[in-house]
Structures are given as C-alpha cells and as structure tokens.
Chain A
C-alpha cells in the first residue's frame, strides 16, 4: 500500500524555483472518496512524498488537505490519485478576496516605485540643473576626476537601489533568449554609465571634446521610468473599475429560515432550496424564486434598466440586486459560482483579457521589437562613429543610448488590452455582455441587423391591449366575464385574457355549460349570464348585432391586434383586442440603429398581415413573414451574400443556428440567463436599446484602440529615428537621453490614460 513518489515529480530541474524566504505557498486540495479516518494518514503520506512538499495536513471533516511547499498542483493531484482517491485543487477564494490582495500588492509596489523614483531623481535633478546652469560635465582636471568618480559611484548606488529590477530582469530574460522593456532600459542606462566611468578612469582613450559624463542621464532615466511605472499602475487600477463594481455587488451574508428560525449565515453556507428572507433596502444574496411577499427590486446594476421591477410570488430574483420596498421570502435556486452575478463576473473577466483581431499586428511587432531596436542602436552608433562630426564617440554613445531609451514596446503592447478592458467593462455596466474581443470588433462594423419579431421587438407574450366597450359599462366587468369563461381553455389567446384579469386582481367566477366551438370561440354561463366569446363568425352565426363595431375591429387588426367579440345575453358587450405588444422603446431603439446607417430587417414566423403591421409601426421597411425557425439562418446567409456584416438578434432559444451563423449574434436575455451559448453578445435587459448601446460601445472602443495603436506606432516610428540622429544632418537636432526617458515613461501612461477616457463614454440618449 506504500505510495511511491510520483515518477514525474522526480524531474525537477536544477533551477527549480526556490521559495523566497518564508514565501513557500500553500495549496488546498479537495479530496473525494475519503470515507474513513485511516484515509487521512494515507493521503498525507502520499502528498509528503512528492518532491517539494514541506507538509500536508488533512481536515477530514471538510475533506480538504492543506499542502505547503512548492510542488505543482498537477503533481499533488497525481499523488492523491495514486493513493486511490480523487482530488482537485480548491480555489474557493472569493473574487473580493482576490481583488483585495491584488490591490494590496499593487499598493506595496507603488510605494516601492515612488521610493525608488525619489532616490533616483534626488541625484539626477541636481546634476541636471548643474549641467543646465553651465556647469562643466567634462573631465579635464584631476579634481574633476575625483568629483565625478564620487558622482559615478552615487549613480551606481541609484542603479542598484532604484534600477535593480531593470538590470536583473534584463539579465534573466537575456539568458532566456528573450528581450523586453528591462533589456532596453538596462542597456541604455548601463551604456551611459559605463561610458562615463571610462571617461573618469581613462580619459586619455577618449578624444578631448568627448570627455563628457552622462551620470545625470542614467539617474534621471531610472527615476522618470520608475515614476512612469508608478503612475501607470494607478491608471491601470481605474481600467478595472467596472469589474470591481460588479464584484462589490456580491453579498457577504444571508438571512435564511431553517427549522422555522431566521438566522444570519455567511453567503457560502447558503444551500440550494434554502428559504431566504430579504428586508427592504437589503441586497438579494443569491438567485431564487419568490415564495412570499411582494416588492420592487432595483436591477439597474445588472441590466442597466433604470426602473425598479415588481416582484410577486413565482417571480425570479437575482443576487446582487437591491430589494426596494417590501420584505420577501424566496427559495434559493442558484448559489455560489452558478449565480447570474458570478457568471457575469467570470464572463466579463474572460472577455476583458481577450484580444480583438486588430491587436494582433501589434502583438507580432511587439515580439520582434526589442531586438530590432537594439540593432538600430548599434547601427546608429556605427554610423555616427564613421560619418559623424567630432566628437564622434560622444555622439555615437548619446544616439545609441537615446534610441534604446525612447523605444517603447509597452505602449504598443498596452494599446489594445487596456481599451478592451475598459470597453468590455463599460458595456457590462450598460447590461451588455460581450463574449470576446472578436465580437467587440465585429459589432463595431455591423451594416445590417436582423431582428426576430416575437420576444425581441415585441414582449413575446400576448396581452389584452385594448377593450372597446359596446353595451357593457366598465372594462373590469368585461374582462372578468371573458376570463371566467376562458379559465378552462388552453388557447394562447385565452391564456392572455386570464393573465390580464389576474393582473387587475379580478376574481374569476365559476362557469357552467361550457362549450368550445372550434374555429369560432367559446360559450357558457357565468354568474347567470349566457356568454359568447370569439370571432366575427361566431357572432354572425349566433345572430349578434355587430354592424357598428366592424370598423373598430378592422382598425385593431391593422394595428397587429387580434379583435375578439364578447356577447352577454344576446347583446354585444365589448370588443377585446389581444396582441403581442411592441416593447415601449423598440421604436426609438430601431431609429437609433437606422440613424447609424444600419439596415434593419425583421424576421417572423407570424402571418404577413401582423408582420406588416408591426414592421410599419416600428419603422422597418424590410421584413420577412412566415419564416420557419430553421429558415432563419438562411436569411442571415442571404444578407451575408449581399456583402453585409450581419448582426442577428433573437432570444437564443429557437434561433440558435441563425445567431451562430451571423457575424455577431445578440441574445436578448431576461436578466438571469447570462451565458447564452450561441450568442456573441448577451443583452441583459429586454430593451433593444441594448443593441444600439452594444454597437456604440464597440465603436467607441475600437476608435480608442485605433488611437492608441496609431499613437504608439507613430511615437516609435518618429521617436526612434529622431533619437538615432536622423534630423541632425538637416537641422542639427539631437535628442537628449533624459528627454527620451521622459517620453518613454509617459508614452505608456498616455495609452492607459487614453483607454481610461472610455470610462466617460455615454451611449446616446434614448
């Protein structure tokens, strides 16, 4: 039963990562299949034999093992599996804890950079002022040699204290056949310092005119770049504000009712089907279905919908939203990582780190950038040495140093991810979940948008839209009679009548001698009245006088409403119009799309008359009626054949193939269905304005990325030749390495700041 050490673990390379001081890590494993106390020793034993494990302690009650040391997760899992159990790495830290840790680490790093910056600049600035005021930066006398030697050693101190990370990083990457920012900074400042020290120690090998020292450049560059990094760190923090806000919505405790008692427990202890109590003003802790009480809930933080939503029994509530008015008890249906909020956070995080195709060129360039700059620096030095005016050596050194320092691969590398980070976050704030960078980029280019009618332009559930009174005196009585009669019917239109009566809190009466007349309607006795409810045909056959109501009925039909006649005791009581109402803001949202030169097309399975009426009402000129669900994808393909970049919007259920085929598939969610698989973009609220918002955010983000990329390209393309001295023959201009250092430090800061400008983006008013 002895567990041998895992074969793979024997292979630990010599340069195996050593823990730094007491920073050996602790990992938590969750064990499955451990049924008895004796398993504990076996599992702990197996883990302790893995190379790199210092200690393993199992908590049998929780079925978890805490392992310290620096073995890999894979090796640990294998060892436990070898002992006959299943294990997985637990990563049960909450998003909030991770975020807090990250912020603390950033804070420590920021303070370190600021400290290093202060030291470097307190040497660099006085030296620079001395030079600017006309002090001799040259070495001619012995006194000067001694003085400059002291300054040179002080500069070395700055390089060690403030610039160590550049030099260590440069060296390590060099050994790894890799080159990065550190390489450029270390080479640039190192060259300047080394040359100056040569001037101090061996002035005779350097021509008279070139005996210039550049210690101030080394100290200033290190200080300025540290400052740039510190400011960039602060600016970067702001790019993740949206995700921080989402994480902040998560609730820490919940009040559950167990065994008839209300107790406050930690959110992680809430179980499925727990009864959870939420009082007014409190946040709803997890997703669930209302069991008791009624209230209004502010869901704006998730859906972007500003109006509070009424919740009664059987309505869904979403964790992280705020209960405004009443106290409710609900049943927990989704907890932990399954809640809508947790899924939104995961999805936004994923999307924020994914790259749109536009960023790929910059990635390719960034990959070759540093060695190319090094080659340019060497070439420029050679050209100065061969063809430059005296003192050629000094010019060669200055130009090489300046080229190395001014080049900034970071600005190029940061251009895309920073904007995506802010753009995706901004979209999430508006209730628009973008799956990845590609969806973001493509939606900025959409030229045609196909909208499904039912559930997209319309609410998707037929409702009583109008009651036209004939002989009856009030709408409630009419609705009560019709609903009582239809209560037993399963026709969709009948359901909408019953639903409407419930909404108005009308009590239904029992029905007697009920009779359904196929293709016509229904009849029956309610509260002593002989009722008829159905279409025109039914009325005519039963001899009800309707002549003066033909016109209003016709008007209803032209507005995409289905008119139904209700007669009581042989007289027409009222006309009831049932329709799938158009969402309040569909018209304005469609206008917004059209204003952006997007060709809007409507698809529906409904008949032509209704389709035409709806299309006309919302201002859509192109529509296809009686389209079977499976033919929707064909319509997408047809538009694509016409060279349109097609967005398709649907509810994600029966239009999945069309959503998948479209260049960008938009799914209209209900606020809880976050991860609609076939969709590239999910709209959390039902409004079509989400669509226009999504396109607007994408356009703004792409514009921002282009500005960043353009800026970074131009900066490097202009800065590097200038630094190399290309302007010198024409204008006698040569850049100072200190200016180059400042320019470099602030170029990446500019990119991050420009990306942060996106935070101010506001979608056009509805």
Chain B
C-alpha cells in the first residue's frame, strides 16, 4: 500500500515537472523560417527563434482536420489567421520586442512560443 502511495505521489510530481517546471533547452528551438506543421494536437516545431525588431514570416501547414486547429492566434500582436487544411499559409507578423511570445489555437490547447531575440 505504501508503495502505491509513493508511486501516486511520484506520478503527481512527474506531472508537475513535465508540464510546468520543465524548461526546453536551446536544442529544441527551431528557426523562424521553417514550416510549422499543425498536426495531432500540437505545433511542430513549437518553439521558434525569430529576430527582434523586424517583420517575421511564419509558414503554417495544417494537417489536422479538427476545427480546433483552424485558427492560430498571436495574442501579443493582436493577430489571428485561419489555416486552410493541407495548404501552406504564410503569416506576416509585425516586429516584436525581445522575449517569449506565445501563439495558440482559440482554446489554448495547441501552444507554441516565439523566442524573439
């Protein structure tokens, strides 16, 4: 019984670490000018490095038919775009200040981050 309880608590700790405390290393950051695929509930890659102070063009390719994937929102730039299915969509973002800027679907379930520096 103790074993089960320890296992349960470890599981909770793992959930907290995996979803909240884990900070992705630089290795998982993609460059701004590759195609972002929207598939299976995620943006791939979901962390992108872009340059500060100049407009950025991002290309999205949505392969996920779920309507949840249809809109991508850049809350910091007050921009949102519809993504067609199986078709590239280029989105031009205005220059952004350095820092991390999220992009998400309407419901915050698909999440990505632009690392601006």
Contact = CB atoms under 8 A, between A and B. Distances in A.
Interface in B56-71: 56-59, 61, 63, 65-68, 70-71
A179 B4 CA distance: 24
B40 A169 contact: yes
Contacts of B44: 15, 17, 172, 176
Contacts of A385: 1, 4-5, 8
Interface stretch (A35-43, A198-206, A370-378): A370-378
Contacts of A89: 57, 90
A106 interface: yes
B67 A236 contact: yes
Task: Give the most central of B33, B58, B109: most A CB within 10 Å.
Answer: B109
Contacts of B73: 353, 355
Interface stretch (A72-80, A133-141, A509-517): A72-80
A375 B11 CA distance: 8
Main secondary structure of the interface of A (DSSP, over half): helix
A165 B40 contact: yes
Interface string B26-64: 000011111101011110111000000000111101010
Contacts of A381: 8
A74 B57 contact: yes
Contact of B59 (A74, A178, A180, A370): A74
Interface string B99-117: 0000000111111000000
Contacts of B87: 25, 101
B80 A25 contact: no
Interface residues of A, number: 77
B62 to A, nearest CB: 9
Contacts of B58: 72, 74
A371 B15 contact: yes
A253 interface: no
Nearest to A182: B41
Contacts of B8: 378-379, 381-382, 385
B9 to A, nearest CB: 8
Given A11-B34, A236-B67, A371-B15, A105 B85 contact: yes
A386 interface: yes
A336 interface: no
B80 A172 contact: no
Contact of B42 (A109, A172, A371): A172
Given A73-B57, A78-B33, A366 B108 contact: yes
Contacts of B24: 177
Contact of A73 (B1, B5, B11, B59): B59
Contacts of A16: 34
A178 B46 contact: yes
Contact of B85 (A102, A168, A233, A368): A102
Given A9-B33, A73-B88, A172-B41, A371 B67 contact: no
Contacts of A71: 35
A27 B88 contact: yes
Contact of A436 (B18, B46, B78, B106): B78
Given A13-B34, A371-B15, A173 B65 contact: no
B106 A413 contact: yes
Interface in A164-188: 165, 168-174, 176-182
A413 B110 CA distance: 11
A630 to B, nearest CB: 29
Given A385-B1, A409-B107, A177 B45 contact: no
B76 interface: no
Contacts of A412: 107
A112 interface: yes
Contact of A20 (B20, B33, B63, B110): B63
A366 B41 contact: no
A38 B75 CA distance: 44
Contact of A72 (B33, B42, B71, B84): B33
A101 B19 CA distance: 36
A159 B40 CA distance: 16
B12 A23 contact: no
B106 A414 contact: yes
B78 to A, nearest CB: 6
Interface in B84-102: 84-90
Contacts of A72: 33-35, 57-59
Interface in A334-381: 349-350, 353-355, 363, 366-368, 370-371, 374-375, 378-379, 381
Contacts of B82: 98, 102, 349
Contact of A409 (B37, B40, B109, B111): B109
A381 B40 CA distance: 29
Interface in A54-86: 70-75, 77-78
Contact of B66 (A98, A109, A375, A382): A109
A350 B35 contact: no
Task: Give the most central of B33, B57, B111: most A CB within 10 Å.
Answer: B33
A177 B30 CA distance: 16
A417 interface: yes
Contacts of A98: 82, 84
Contact of B41 (A25, A27, A170, A354): A170
Interface in A140-168: 165, 168
Given A172-B41, A173-B41, A176-B46, A367 B33 contact: no
Interface in A410-432: 410, 412-414, 417
Contacts of B111: 178, 367
A169 B44 CA distance: 12
A108 interface: yes
Contacts of B90: 27, 73-74, 89, 91
A397 to B, nearest CB: 13
A146 to B, nearest CB: 30
Contacts of B22: 177
A378 B85 contact: no
Contacts of A236: 67
Contacts of A108: 65
A8 interface: yes
A215 B24 CA distance: 38
A77 B57 contact: yes
Contacts of A109: 65-67
A733 interface: no
B5 A178 contact: no
Contacts of A74: 32-33, 56-59, 90
A653 interface: no
A12 interface: yes
A414 B108 CA distance: 10
Contact of A102 (B4, B15, B84): B84
Interface of B: 1, 4-5, 8-9, 11-12, 15-16, 18-20, 22, 24, 30-35, 37, 39-42, 44-46, 56-59, 61, 63, 65-68, 70-71, 73, 75, 78, 80, 82, 84-90, 106-111
Given A173-B42, A385-B8, 13 more contacts: A15-B44, A74-B33, A74-B59, A89-B90, A168-B40, A169-B42, A174-B18, A177-B19, A236-B67, A350-B80, A353-B106, A378-B15, A413-B108
Interface of A: 8-9, 11-13, 15-17, 20, 23, 25-27, 52, 70-75, 77-78, 89, 91, 98, 101-102, 105-106, 108-109, 112, 165, 168-174, 176-182, 229, 232-233, 236, 349-350, 353-355, 363, 366-368, 370-371, 374-375, 378-379, 381-382, 385-386, 409-410, 412-414, 417, 436
26 contacts: A13-B34, A73-B57, A73-B88, A74-B57, A74-B58, A74-B59, A89-B90, A91-B90, A98-B82, A105-B65, A169-B41, A171-B40, A177-B18, A177-B19, A177-B22, A178-B46, A232-B67, A349-B82, A353-B80, A353-B106, A367-B111, A378-B12, A382-B9, A385-B1, A414-B106, A436-B78
The 5 A-B residue pairs with the shortest CB-CB distance in the complex, in nearest-first order: A413-B107, A353-B80, A74-B33, A169-B41, A73-B90
